[in-house]
Structure 1
Amino acid sequence: METHELHRGRLIDHIQLVVKDLPASKVFYTAVFKALDIPLSGSGDDYFWADELFVSTADSEAANGELTGRHHLAFQAQDKAMVDAFYKAALDAGGKDNGAPGIRKYHPGYYGAFVIDPDGNNIEAVFHGEAKRSAASVVVTF
């Protein structure tokens, strides 16, 4: 397999999911984020967010009264154990199985798990295998 290097910033700046049941989504994503070691960044009456994922009700100002459709979101995991923890936490928090943790054929070393969130979104955690990173993260300061 050919070695790949990416030299760019983030492809996606942020994403918003507009959900029908914010409390159920908050329980689900709080559990998922805890398993993936991602802190919940904030919340209000009609939204919450972590990193650049915003989850809101249709009544939030940015939603314009519309629910989002079905999406596939994949979160990076630090190792296989974190993928396993994500899967268990997601199921325990109301998610539905959409593919138990395991090796996938997408590329060598791809270890992922899939669950369906309370709004029908396909949520994945993936560990791409051992890799060399130029930095643990990119820090953007405004």
Structure 2
Amino acid sequence: MIDHLALQVADVAATAAFYTRVFAPAGVREAMRYDTPGGPVVGLCGPDGHPRLWLGPLAEGTDRPVHLAVVAPSPEAVDEVFALAREQGVELLHEPRVWPEYHPGYYGAFFRDPDGNNVEAVHHTFPTGPA
């Protein structure tokens, strides 16, 4: 389980706007913003209000795209996130689908954010009843 993740990005404001727009169906919003000598730092949160994704200025010489998976409340929210990412014109990696190789009921979609990071919206549907 991830407590928080910090990404170094080329344009903090643009990337914060991207994440809050595309992941709005998952409840992502800006929780806080503060200035540093290198530029602004933004903390994004989900419905619980705790900043878990931090965006800060790109450190010189850094080229480290990462993978970030954001939980979506339903498969429909995964579809909506993917549609919003498409509207933003970013690179689309994988259309929404079930990924049984991860586990039964793993429904996800993958795309790149404006800085080239591999971003995923995922919903986990677990079987109920006796094992």
Mark yes or no: TM-score above 0.5.
yes
Give the match for residue 106 of structure 2: 110
Deviation at 1:68, TM superposition (A): 5.6
The one-letter amino acid of 2:54's match is F
Q: Is the 8 A contact 1:94 1:118 kept in 2?
A: no
Give the match for residue 57 of structure 1: 57
Give the match for residue 93 of structure 1: 88
SS where residue 48 of structure 1 aligns?
Answer: strand
Alignment of 1:20-35 (within 5 A): 20-35=10-25
Correspondent of 1:124 among 103, 120, 123: 120
The number of aligned residues is: 117
Give the match for residue 71 of structure 1: 66
TM-score normalised according to structure 2 size: 0.77
Q: Is the 8 A contact 1:90 1:115 kept in 2?
A: yes
SS where residue 113 of structure 1 aligns?
Answer: strand
Give the match for residue 42 of structure 2: 48
Q: State the percentage of identical aligned residues.
A: 37
Give the match for residue 84 of structure 1: 79
Gaps of 5+ in 2: 45-50
2-structure distance, mates of 1:39, 1:25: 12
Alpha carbons of 1:93 and 1:49: their partners in 2 closer, same or farther (altered >3 Å)?
Answer: farther
Deviation at 1:66, TM superposition (A): 5.4
**Per-residue CA shift, 1:20-61, capped at 9, x if unaligned?**
122321221111231211222122351211121100113xxx
Structure 1 window deviating more from structure 2 (29-38 vs 96-105): it is: 29-38
Alpha carbons of 1:68 and 1:52: their partners in 2 closer, same or farther (altered >3 Å)?
Answer: farther
2-structure distance, mates of 1:23, 1:39: 13
The one-letter amino acid of 2:113's match is D
